C-alpha cells in the first residue's frame, strides 16, 4: 500500500454503492489509519450475508483484545531447583525390526 502524506487531508467522505446496498460514510481524521477505517467499512457493507456473522464476530474479538490494557504484568513465577543425581552413561540397546 502506498504511503499517504498525513498532511494532505483532514476529512474523508465516501459513498459505496452496490446492488441492494447503499452507504455513505464520513470520517474525520488524517493519515493512513483513517483511509483504512473507511475501506474496512466498505468491505463490511459489501460482505455477502453468509460471511457477515463471522466477520463481525472476528472484529468484536479483535476489538476487545486491543481495548483491554493490562494494568501490570503478572507476577513472575517462583523458581525452584530440583536436585538431580548423575549416573554412568548407558548405551541404549539396538532397535530390532523384524520383517
Whether the Cβ atoms of residue 11 and residue 28 lie closer than 8 Å to each other: yes
Q: Does the CA dihedral 86-88-89-91 come out positive or negative?
A: negative
Q: Alpha helix (H) ranges present in the chain?
A: 32-46, 49-67
Domains of the chain, residue spans: 11-67
Residue 86 has pLDDT above 60, yes or no: yes
pLDDT in tens, 49-61: 899 999 999 999 9
User: Which pLDDT score is estimated for 76?
Assistant: 79
Q: What is the pTM of this model?
A: 0.50
pLDDT tens, position by position, 2-28: 444 444 445 666 666 666 667 777 777
Distance from C-alpha of 28 to C-alpha of 11, rounded to nearest angstrom: 4
Instruction: Determine how many CB atoms are found less than 10 A away from the CB of residue 35.
Output: 17
Amino acid at each position: 500500500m502506498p504511503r499517504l502524506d498525513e498532511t494532505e487531508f483532514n476529512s474523508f467522505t465516501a459513498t459505496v454503492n452496490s446492488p441492494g446496498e447503499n452507504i455513505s460514510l464520513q470520517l474525520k481524521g488524517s493519515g493512513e489509519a483513517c483511509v483504512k477505517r473507511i475501506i474496512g467499512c466498505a468491505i463490511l457493507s459489501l460482505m455477502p450475508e453468509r460471511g457477515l456473522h463471522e466477520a463481525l464476530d472476528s472484529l468484536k474479538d479483535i476489538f476487545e483484545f486491543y481495548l483491554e490494557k493490562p494494568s501490570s504484568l503478572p507476577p513472575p513465577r517462583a523458581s525452584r531447583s530440583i536436585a538431580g543425581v548423575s549416573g554412568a552413561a548407558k548405551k541404549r540397546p539396538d532397535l530390532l525390526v523384524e520383517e
